[in-house]
Each structure stands twice: as C-alpha cells, then as structure tokens.
Amino acid sequence: MKLDDFESVFRSSVKTPFHHAPPNIESALLVTDVDNAATGAFLGEIQPFLASGHADGIEWTTLTSEDFQEVSTVLDRVRRNPPSLVVCYRHLLGQGVRLPYSLGSTVDTLTQATDVPVLLLPRPDEVGITLPKKASQVMVVTDHLTGDDRLVNWAAHLCTDDGTLFLSHIEDKAILKKYLDACSKIPGIDFDLAKEKLPKKLLAMPSDYIASTSEILAKQGIHENVQALVKVGDPVKDYEQLVEELGVDLLIMNTKDHDQNAMHALAYALSVEIRNRPLLLL
C-alpha cells in the first residue's frame, strides 16, 4: 500500500456524526389567500398534524386574503417579525393560471429570500386531497444527507414517537455514470476499481451517517424506528415512487443552494411533482 492508500483509509475512517438539536418552534405564521373564517378552519386541521410529533405549544398568527394582496407584504411581515415556521400552500393569491409545475411566486420568494422554514401544504381546495391527521411516516430527502443535521432534527421533531423516520439518499445514476465515464478515459485510474469502489463509497457515507443518527436518537429515546433508504437511482422518479409506496405523511428537504438564488434543483423538482403531501422546505 502507498501513502495515498493509507491517507484514504484514515480519511474514510473519519465519520460525520449526527448531532441532536431539536428545533425550537415557538411561533408559526399561516399564510392563506382565503378569508379569516376559512383560514381558521384550515388552521384547525394543521395544528393536530404538527402537534402529533413534538411541536406543540406553538403560538399561531395568520395572514389571510383580508390582510395582504402582494407578495412583498408577506415578505415584509416575515422579515420584520420572523416566525419559527411559515405555513402556506401553492399558488397563493390565485396567481394567474395555477400551473401544476410551479409553486407560485409567494412560495418561491419565501423559500429563497428568507431563512424561515416553509411548510408547504396541499391546497385546501384541491379535490381529493386531505391533510394527514398526524406525521407518522416522515421522510428526509436530500442529495447530500451526510452532515445534514438540520433536516434530520426537524424530521425527528415532527414525527410521532411511534412513527417511522425514513432517512434517504439516492445517488443520481446519471451523474455517477458521467464520472465513471470520465474515469474510464483517464489512463492512471484503474477503471474496474473505480467502478467497484466509487458507488460503494458514495453510498457508505450516508449509510454511516444514518447509522449514527439512528444510534443517537435511540439513545435519547426519541425514535426507535429509523429506516435507511440509500441507493443509486433516478432521484425524482424514485422518490415519487417511494413516497407513494411508503405512504409518507411529510417530506422534508433542503431548498437552499449556497451559490444561487433559485431553489435547490432536486427540492424544486420534487416540490412541483409531489403536490398531494405536506412538504417541509428548509
């Protein structure tokens, strides 16, 4: 073995552990485009859903169609007095035609122009869609799970004690193929070795992190049932399928990209595709 081999062994042995730090949800702002009465009824459905986990005692305020007509009003309100959580749905203010493959400018602005987490619910007037009574099947979605403590902490906080926490990581097979193709064209790289080891290592990192999460949550007596979903695949298609198969009540994902204003690519794709479930956009 050479110096590089040993260095790789030791670098690989350094794991990123999960740090349990539950979010403190003191206040929530419900933003709707219906009147106060309808908003109150809607709030009545949301409160038990959120309280089914550990998020109880939240101080609620609302912003209804009677309070605002412009996105900037919502943004000013959130910036002036930031709540712990904003709850809303797509296409607020009936923004033109409700294009199915968009979130509407209010949600776009809230997720990207503020740091406040947004709980995106199915529209209350959407036919055939009802809000789950409790969050017992919660899934964390990310293309970089390792070290994403914030996502996992929110998920653990909102999931019911007897529920299941699905910590997932789907490595995009198209990207992996691109890298392996590049490896096959570099003379110094053992392609067979790269083909065997690269996917394994890419999946080992989130698997180790999930194992650490599961161990720490179990130690704290919070969640016994943490399930790992780690594989190489087609993220958007696979997540859509998994969400349906597992009957996920709440999907949690990261929307912030460090180097751009637009929403994180996978999060945006899933947000527009999965319209029948609550999504927590962090």
Strand order in the sheet with 164-172: 59-63, 27-31, 85-89, 118-121, 279-281, 250-253, 137-141, 164-172, 226-233
Burial class of 111 by CB neighbour count within 10 A (0 to 12, 13 to 18, 19+): buried
Query: Which of 3/127 has CB closer to another protein?
Result: 3
Angle among Cα 83, 87, 92 to the nearest 5 degrees reads 120
Phi, psi of 132 (to 5 degrees): -60, 150
Minimum distance, C-beta of residue 171 to another protein, in the bound complex (Å): 19
Q: Closest distance between another protein and the C-beta of residue 41, in Å?
A: 48
Residue 221 per-residue DSSP state: T
Q: Nearer to another protein by C-beta: 20 or 256?
A: 20
Residue (59 or 215) nearer to another protein, CB: 215
User: What is the nearest approach in angstroms of another protein to the Cβ of residue 194?
Assistant: 14
Question: Residue holding tokens 């209804």?
Answer: 64
- Closer residue to another protein, CB minimum distance, 6 or 179: 6
Q: What is the DSSP letter of 276?
A: S
Q: Name the minimum Å distance from CB 199 to another protein.
A: 16
Which one, 16 or 62, has the nearer CB to another protein? 16
What is the contact surface with another protein in residues (CB under 8 A)?
1-3, 6-7, 9-17, 208
What's the closest the beta carbon of residue 153 comes to another protein, in angstroms? 18
